[in-house]
Chain A
């Protein structure tokens, strides 16, 4: 659990630090704005944030935090739902500003009284008075008292008003507010920030020209959420610091939800957290999922049961089966030996991850610049592909290698340099040799450059030929031609070297990018039950309702309800019976028919002893039960009373979904 808290903290740290990157320029602007107070325009920042509304909260919170620390203590966050009218807006604004003022120096008790008095009169003048009093107090506190009025104005911090969701504000409120504040811009340095989800055109459509001419709008575009996601994936999944890893399917589900549904990074992180919780909850061997040092310690102190759990893991069994028979027996019987092996295996896994990540990045450097992106443009796609199965067996990999064999020299050299950087920065010990090798390649290239003046023309022409034909369609043809030409003509030095490089990369990939589920003990750190996640994150209310009503056993777990599907049992709850009967009807349902069918189903259990006379006169109790079931269905939205025919209800759903 403690690990998990750490993880959450890490997540948010990452996020906030990321957001900060996008805001420094912004801070620069705000300080500059205060210099421009002479004009009647209100400085305004339009922040285009993208449609992922759920993320905005966090963005604004961190933004106001940053502003609070650096520029001004006076910040008000306004939301459209709080401000249906200009009155509410002013009240909210005053409340927030004055409260934050109290937060600044909460020592004086008088302020509380003053504020409560003033809250009665929420107008701009009182706001200005308040602002003047605050800034004056500030001035008297600061030692540098002797300042001219003009410089004091510059010194005074601006009041920042943030409109969280510009689209939802009513035009009238915004217009009025802007007009009012533009009247007082000389006395009150006000800065507006509009949070815009769609496009900045909304400003023009919301505000008429007479109002928007009062604003001095500058546009700031926050990073698109896709980029945001890839940085998060980069920082979270592709590091060795986080012991927990996502399996291929799970990652796919999360990314799909992100791309298909909401673009909300927040939700992605929540899903990720859910994965962590689910993993620790459902997987007994997840105790070993922590930093390597801790994991070793824990492995030492495993109980017998836990050892058994490990023995039961499919990947471990595979491992055991590959061992010599005596070793197999000791592994399966002796706990201590098992613990040692587990430690060793965990270490292997850790090393594997380290290598995996750097090689993955390296491969990404190569594949991301190829035409048509056979292995995907983003590193996350590559990551998924590698997790799924042996990447070198796929066709895409094949084609990308072939394309890589045709890269020109300058690209190749820059890529190699990037790879060297990656490997140097990674902590893996095994890469010393790789780095050397790559550097060797680089020096060879340089040498080649010096030597190759004579051969230059030849190679260049062949390269040019190649570059023309880089698209996939002609690939096959070019390759065939090339094979022939290779046979006929001796390869240039450059070409041989290029082949060497690509082959070397290929060997690296084959060595290190083994999919994780081929590794022993991968269950410890990988979470792979995508179906659970999908169930939790991709709620389907209609389907859930349908199954609940159609097959009550699914939720009630009552043995008597376990039916064979087709028939309608009378033991099911009334509402289920009514629901099943209504499924058989058309758009309009006759209530009397329905009642009759209902009563026959309900009474059918009594079977033979249910006598004939009761058939035409329905029992009162059954009648009442029926009415309740029908009204429950109406509440759930399956039917509604119809005016077309008396005694009929209309169905609102079509078919079973």
Chain B
């Protein structure tokens, strides 16, 4: 285990930091060496990437906070326009400076303004002798803003001529970021996924105070055994651990087993966890419902999950419209005459046809069809006569808003709009019943 060592910071702080970021020691030491000492200029931009919940944000935050480095932390999803983003950075910058004077917020419309204001802000404070860090979380959003934002952030040090480092955090690799016009290449750092051992270590770190660490670690071990196959998301696992822990403790509380009786506890919890995997993990039922269920010790059968309510009630003609749309989407036009006319010609089987029928139409996905065809099929599948009233037409549009049909091509309405049926065969079967 590489101990963190750095001349610029006291050893106690580093030790504390190390305890806060388990399993990320190598990355942290790497970052520290890049950062250098407080007053040293560091790399202008650093790009950190890794899979979901591999601790990027957490590590950056704890690192900057525990070492008390001046920084700004911004989530790019939240500040969805460049203006909001830049203004937010400036506001945080103002608030982190020691002077508590509340200036009214300054409008910052372009990057040019930002550079100017940033210089002012940094220059006016005692930040000059330290490196200032700007952390942009979810940096992939930057690509959707104006084209100049990302390259400008990458060379912010050069532009402002101040001691500043921009850290970009993202879930995707740098290659997908690189703009066409070329830009300053940041230093890239990869955060690998936690292994099962890491997960075990991290999860068992925050055990509840009433129980011993070993007891909780055993619980985590069981939990991981069940869930590791389907889920490696640390956050999700943490959530599940908290949810199910009370159930695990139940025998201990009742006095039926002591904390060391792992086998007994395992027998008690295992079916429960499996049930949880089917319901809570998929968010079929919410965690609060799950907790209530645990308290009442009821059967989960009474609580129907989200997917249990698949049945959709539709008006009579809407059902037929949907069925007609489905038929129109998945049957080729030339079979229409055969299927829907009473006196059709004899079916001529040619080799050509046979060859094509083999690939199922269901594999090809729905095809668009014109409105007239839909109506014609509708008339032929409904028994009694249907008047083409406004109600029928409005039903088609309401089916479109319900996303059961979708409109294809947005050209002229006069041309006859074309639709696609977006529901599955099972759905149609349920409706047709």
Residues of chain A whose beta carbon lies under 8 Å from any beta carbon of chain B = 32-33, 36, 39-41, 43-44, 46, 48, 50-51, 53, 86-87, 121, 123-125, 165, 167-168, 176, 179-180, 183, 197-204, 209-210, 212-213, 215-219, 221, 224-226, 257-263, 538-543, 634, 637, 640, 652, 654, 657
Proximity string of chain B (299-323) to chain A, C-beta cutoff 8 Å, 1 when within and 0 when not: 0000010110111111111100000
Total interface residues on B, using CB and 8 Å? 52
Q: Is B260 at the interface (CB under 8 A from chain A)?
A: no
Does the CB pair B311–A199 fall under 8 Å?
A: yes
B299 to chain A minimum Cβ distance, whole angstroms, is 17
Residue in B75, B390, B402 whose CB lies within 8 Å of A198? B402
B404 to chain A minimum Cβ distance, whole angstroms, is 7
A229 to chain B minimum Cβ distance, whole angstroms, is 12
Q: A593–B309 Cα gap in the complex (Å)?
A: 60
Kindly list 8 other residue pairs between chains A and B, CB separation below 8 angstroms, not including A86-B80, A261-B316, A637-B414. Answer: A51-B398, A168-B401, A217-B286, A262-B315, A542-B388, A543-B387, A543-B388, A652-B416
A495 to chain B minimum Cβ distance, whole angstroms, is 40
Residue in B84, B239, B287, B403 whose CB lies within 8 Å of A167? B403
Q: Which residue on chain A has the smallest CB distance to residue B319?
A: A260
Does the CB pair B310–A263 fall under 8 Å?
A: no
Chain A contacts for B81, CB-based, 8 A: 87
B289 to chain A minimum Cβ distance, whole angstroms, is 6
Chain A contacts for B266, CB-based, 8 A: none
Does the CB pair A33–B288 fall under 8 Å?
A: yes
| A216-B287, A652-B416 known; A260 vs B316 contact (CB < 8 Å) | yes
Q: Which residue on chain A has the smallest CB distance to residue B138?
A: A179
Q: A137–B93 Cα gap in the complex (Å)?
A: 28
Q: Is B296 at the interface (CB under 8 A from chain A)?
A: no
Does the CB pair B88–A199 fall under 8 Å?
A: no
| A261-B317, A654-B372 known; A43 vs B389 contact (CB < 8 Å) | no
Residue in B52, B236, B389, B415 whose CB lies within 8 Å of A538? B389
| A123-B78, A167-B401 known; A259 vs B316 contact (CB < 8 Å) | yes
Q: A543–B307 Cα gap in the complex (Å)?
A: 43
Q: A213–B286 Cα gap in the complex (Å)?
A: 10
A267 to chain B minimum Cβ distance, whole angstroms, is 9
B171 to chain A minimum Cβ distance, whole angstroms, is 10
Does the CB pair A213–B414 fall under 8 Å?
A: no
A191 to chain B minimum Cβ distance, whole angstroms, is 12
Does the CB pair A540–B401 fall under 8 Å?
A: no
Q: Which residue on chain B has the smallest CB distance to residue A53?
A: B398
Q: Which residue on chain B has the smallest CB distance to residue A640?
A: B414
A205 to chain B minimum Cβ distance, whole angstroms, is 9
Residue in A125, A202, A218 whose CB lies within 8 Å of B286? A218
| A167-B403, A262-B395 known; A226 vs B313 contact (CB < 8 Å) | yes
Chain B contacts for A51, CB-based, 8 A: 312-315, 318, 398, 402
Q: A39–B290 Cα gap in the complex (Å)?
A: 14
Chain A contacts for B304, CB-based, 8 A: 219
Residue in A32, A180, A263, A637 whose CB lies within 8 Å of B78? A180
- Complex A-B: 24 CB contacts under 8 Å: A43-B286, A51-B312, A51-B318, A51-B398, A121-B87, A124-B78, A125-B88, A180-B75, A183-B78, A200-B307, A201-B310, A202-B403, A212-B283, A213-B233, A215-B286, A216-B287, A218-B286, A225-B313, A257-B391, A261-B315, A261-B395, A262-B315, A262-B395, A634-B414
Q: A212–B284 Cα gap in the complex (Å)?
A: 10
B280 to chain A minimum Cβ distance, whole angstroms, is 10
Q: A199–B287 Cα gap in the complex (Å)?
A: 20
Q: A219–B87 Cα gap in the complex (Å)?
A: 39
Proximity string of chain B (372-406) to chain A, C-beta cutoff 8 Å, 1 when within and 0 when not: 10000000000000011111111100100111100
Chain B contacts for A218, CB-based, 8 A: 285-286, 288-289
Q: Which residue on chain A has the smallest CB distance to residue B84?
A: A123
Residue in A32, A198, A217 whose CB lies within 8 Å of B306? A217
| A51-B318, A198-B404 known; A216 vs B286 contact (CB < 8 Å) | yes
Chain A contacts for B317, CB-based, 8 A: 260-261
Does the CB pair B313–A539 fall under 8 Å?
A: no
| A39-B287, A46-B306, A637-B414 known; A198 vs B312 contact (CB < 8 Å) | yes
Q: Is B105 at the interface (CB under 8 A from chain A)?
A: yes
B140 to chain A minimum Cβ distance, whole angstroms, is 12
| B75, B233, B388, B414 interface centre (most CB from chain A within 10 Å) | B414
Q: A442–B286 Cα gap in the complex (Å)?
A: 50
Chain B contacts for A179, CB-based, 8 A: 77-78
Q: A183–B402 Cα gap in the complex (Å)?
A: 30
Does the CB pair B283–A657 fall under 8 Å?
A: no
Q: Is B339 at the interface (CB under 8 A from chain A)?
A: no
Q: Is B79 at the interface (CB under 8 A from chain A)?
A: yes
Q: A634–B87 Cα gap in the complex (Å)?
A: 54
Q: A87–B258 Cα gap in the complex (Å)?
A: 56
Q: Which residue on chain B has the smallest CB distance to residue A218?
A: B286
Chain A contacts for B391, CB-based, 8 A: 257, 261-262, 538-539
B337 to chain A minimum Cβ distance, whole angstroms, is 15
Does the CB pair B79–A123 fall under 8 Å?
A: yes
Which chain B residues in 315-360 approach chain A with CB under 8 Å? 315-318
| A33-B288, A199-B312 known; A215 vs B390 contact (CB < 8 Å) | no
A56 to chain B minimum Cβ distance, whole angstroms, is 11
Does the CB pair A43–B313 fall under 8 Å?
A: no
Q: Which residue on chain B has the smallest CB distance to residue A36?
A: B288
Residue in A165, A197, A213, A539 whose CB lies within 8 Å of B390? A539
Q: A635–B388 Cα gap in the complex (Å)?
A: 20
Does the CB pair B288–A216 fall under 8 Å?
A: yes
Chain B contacts for A261, CB-based, 8 A: 315-318, 391-392, 395
Q: A540–B393 Cα gap in the complex (Å)?
A: 10
Chain B contacts for A209, CB-based, 8 A: 283
A545 to chain B minimum Cβ distance, whole angstroms, is 11
Q: A36–B290 Cα gap in the complex (Å)?
A: 13
Proximity string of chain B (44-81) to chain A, C-beta cutoff 8 Å, 1 when within and 0 when not: 00000000100000000000000000000001011111
